[in-house]
Amino acid sequence: MTRFLSLFLVLAPTAYAQETYLPDTQECTFENPDEQDPVILQSDLQQLLGTIPVLQADFGQLFTGYWTNWSADPMQTGLAKLAVMRGALEYYNLYDVYLPGQLVGNEDGTTVCGPETAFTRTLDGTCNDPVDPQMGAAGTRFGRNVPPPLAWPNEATLMDPNPREVSRKLLQRKDFEEVPFLNMLAASWIQFQIHDWFSHGDNSTTDILHVPLKSDDPLHQKYGINYLAIPATAPDATRTAAEQGVLPPTFTNEVTHWWDGSQLYGSDQATSDRLRTFEGGHLRIDEDGLLPESYDGAEDAGFRRNWWVGLSLMHTLFAKEHNAIADMLAEEYPEMSDEELFHKARMINAALMAKIHTLEWTPAILPNKTLEVGMNANWHGLNEYLYPQFPFQVGNAVIDGVVGGQRDLHGVPYSLTEEFVSVYRMHPLLPEKITVRDASSGHVVEVVATADTRDDDALALAREHGIGDLMYSFGVSHPGALVPQNFPKFMSDLRVPGGFVLDMGTVDVLRDRERGIPRYNNARRALLLPPVSDFSDLTDDKQLEAKLRQVYDNDIEKLDLLVGTYAESTRPTCYGFGETLFQVFTLMATRRLQGDRFYTELYTPEVYTPEGIEWVESQTMVDVLLRHYPELAETGLAETDNAFYPWE
C-alpha cells in the first residue's frame, strides 16, 4: 500500500482550481434530461474502455494538485477516471475485521440456511451468503476502509483539540446556509436510508467520556456543568480472547448491513411481527392513513431512534408502498399466502428504495452530468442506459451494470464500515424550523421549530396537518448545506433520556475519534488522495481558515475528518459535498449492490416475479408520492422529473 501511495503522489501534477461550492442552481439541475444532447457516442464506449488501462498505468492523471480532476474532463474520460478510482479503492480499501480464516461473526456452523433463503431475504440478514451465513447479519461487525493499523483510537489525543470547542467554533450554525437545488425530502430521505444501513445501538452505561467545558461555554453558564458526559460506544461483545491486542477495537451493527428495508420491517422476527397485519401481506396502517401509535406515543416502525416528522413522512409513504405492492402481487398470484406476499413485497420495496437512492437522490445532491451517467451505469450498465436499442455484454460491471450481474466481494466479506458511518454525518441538512404549507393554496399554515417535531410530536403534527400537506411543505423547502458553521443550533443543547445534555457536534467529532477514524489527512492518504499541506489549500474562506488554525493549533495533521470534509472549498462541479467523503461513497455505493445476491445473481423475475421487476424498474419517487397522495398532482411535483428537486 505504501508503495502504491508513493507512486501516485509522485505522479500527481501541480495545483488546478476547480469550480467551488455553492454552484449556480441553473448549472446544476437537469429539468429535461431526455432533451439533453447525447453525452457519449456509441463508438466512444470502446474509447472509454481503452482509456482505463492508460489511467491505471498512470494513476496521477486522476489528480491535479490535491484534488481529482475527472469533473473537468470530457464525459468518457471522466467516467474512465471514476472507474479507475473505484477499482483502486476496491483493491486497497476493503478490510476484514475478523481473524484470517475465521468466518463473519466467528460462525461455528450453527447457522442453518433453509431452502427458502435461496429466494427470500431473512429478517436478520443471515444466509445472504450460504457459505458465510453471518455475513451482513445484524449483530456483526462494521468493517473498515482504512488499514487496521490506522484504526486504533489514540487515547492520548481523544480530547485534542477539545471536541466541544471544535463544535462551538467550527460546526455550530451562525446563519442558515441552504442548498437551493434540493428540497427537504432529500434530507429526510438520507436519514431514512441511514437507518436501514447502520446503528451502533445503545451506548455504554458504564463507560462515560467527559468533555471539559470552558467558563464562557453557554452550557456551563446555563446548567452550571463543567463537562459534557457522553456515554461511550458500547464495546463489541463478540470479541474473543484471541482477538484482543491483535485487532483494533471493533463495533457491531444493531441492524443488518444489507440494503433490505430493515428500517421499515425490523431486523428481527419480533419487530416484524409487531408491525404486520398478517392479512394480505400488509404492514399495519391506521384508519387515518398514519403509522400505528407505539407505547410511548410516537409512531411504530422497524427502527425508531432519532424520530422526527421527516422520518414519519418517509416511513408512512413506504409502508403504504409495501401494501400497494402486496396488493399487486395478490391480484397476480391469488395462490400466494400472507407470508409469501409479505416477504416478496418486502424485497420489491427494498429494491425500489435502492433504485430511487441510486438514480434519483444521488444525482439530486450531486447534480453533475458525469456522475448522473455513472450512477445509472451502476444500476443499468452504461450500455443499456445510453443505448437500450443496442444491448450487448462485454463482461465489465461499468458497461454491463452491477444490478442483475455477478456478485463480487473483491475478496473481503461484505459489511458496511466505520468510515461509511462517519461520512454520512449530515446534520447540517436540518433547518431550525419547518414551514407547514397548505398543498392546495401554497399558503403558510404554521411554522414549527424542528426541535418540536421529534418523537410523539411528529405524530401530533401528522394528525393536525395530514401527510399530504407535510409532503408538499418539505417539497418546497430547502435543506442546509454540508459546510462549516451550519450545524443546527437546536442540536447544540439537547436534553436526552438519562438527564444528559448533549451537543451533537461534539458527539460527532468524539465518535470518530473513539472509533478509530483517522484524522483528515491520514484518512485522505488511506483513501488514495494526496494530503493537504496547509489550511489555505483546504478553503478559500479566510475567516474560516483563521478559525481552523486557531482551533487546531495551526497543525493540519490534527484536523478532524468531519470538519475537513465540510471545509473543502474545492469540489467536483455541482457537488453538495467534497471529494474526501466521495471516496468512501464511490466505493461503498457500488459495494452495497455488488456484494448482495439479491441485487446481483438473484435479481431475476424468478425471484422477484416479473411484475416485481417491472415495478422496481418503472417506478420513481414521483410515482410513489402521487400513488399515495394524488392531491400532490396539483402542485409542482407533477412538473419535476426528480422529487428531490424543489417543487416550485
Extended strands (E) in 43-104? 63-64, 67-68
- pLDDT computed for residue 256 by the predictor: 98
Among 481, 572, 199, 182, CA closest to 361 = 182
**Which cell numbers in the block locate residue 554?**
495551526
Among 349, 225, 371, CA closest to 627 = 349
Among 536, 528, 523, CA closest to 565 = 523
- Over residues 216-222, mean pLDDT: 96
Task: Name which of 71-75, 124-128, 303-307 the model is least confident about.
Answer: 71-75
- Amino acid identity, position 421: V
- In the chain, what percentage of residues exceed pLDDT 90? 81
- pLDDT computed for residue 396 by the predictor: 72
What are the Cα distances from residue 284, in Å, to 184, 289, 360, 621? 26, 10, 28, 22
Mean pLDDT score across all residues of the chain: 90
DSSP state of 168: I
Question: 98, 414, 424, 599: which one is catalytic?
Answer: 424
- pLDDT computed for residue 49 by the predictor: 72
- Over residues 396-420, mean pLDDT: 91
Helix 309-332 and helix 621-628, axial crossing angle in degrees, nearest 10: 90
pLDDT reading at 20 higher than 50: no
* Residue 76's pLDDT band (cuts 50, 70, 90): confident
pLDDT reading at 393 higher than 90: no
**Which cell numbers in the block locate residue 528?**
488514495
Q: Establish how many alpha carbons lie within 13 A of residue 467's alpha carbon, considering only the half-sphere containing its beta carbon.
A: 20
**Which cell numbers in the block locate residue 538?**
483546504
Q: Contact, 178 vs 560, CB < 8 A? A: no
Exposed, middle or buried by CB within 10 Å (0-12, 13-18, 19+), for 438? middle
- pLDDT computed for residue 233 by the predictor: 97
pLDDT reading at 641 higher than 50: yes
Residues 28, 30, 33: CA angle, nearest 5 degrees: 150
- Over residues 215-240, mean pLDDT: 95
Cα distance between residue 71 and residue 170, in whole Å: 28
Maximum separation of any 2 CA atoms in the chain, in Å = 70
> What is the C-alpha R_g of the chain?
24
Residue 424 designated active-site: yes
Peptide bond into 231 cis (omega under 30): no
Q: Is 379 left (phi over 0), alpha (psi -120 to 50) or beta?
A: alpha
pLDDT digits (tens, 9 = 90+) for 280-311: 999 999 999 999 999 999 999 999 999 999 99
Among 316, 288, 324, CA closest to 300 = 316
pLDDT digits (tens, 9 = 90+) for 101-115: 999 999 998 999 999
Extended strands (E) in 487-572? 494-496, 500-502
- pLDDT computed for residue 14 by the predictor: 25
Alpha helices in 157-206 (DSSP H): 163-166, 184-197
pLDDT reading at 19 higher than 90: no
pLDDT digits (tens, 9 = 90+) for 470-525: 999 999 999 999 999 999 999 999 887 777 789 999 999 999 999 999 999 999 99
- pLDDT computed for residue 376 by the predictor: 87
What's the whole-model pTM score? 0.92
- pLDDT computed for residue 25 by the predictor: 42
pLDDT reading at 6 higher than 80: no
Q: Contact, 313 vs 321, CB < 8 A? A: no
- pLDDT computed for residue 195 by the predictor: 97
* Residues β-bridged to residue 63: 68
Q: What dihedral angle (degrees, nearest 10) is formed by the CA atoms of 493, 495, 500, 502?
A: -30
pLDDT digits (tens, 9 = 90+) for 512-560: 999 999 999 999 999 999 999 999 999 999 999 999 999 999 999 999 9
**Which cell numbers in the block locate residue 403?**
444490478
- Over residues 611-635, mean pLDDT: 98
Domain range list for the chain:
2-91
Residues 527, 530, 531: CA angle, nearest 5 degrees: 95
Cα distance between residue 232 and residue 584, in whole Å: 25
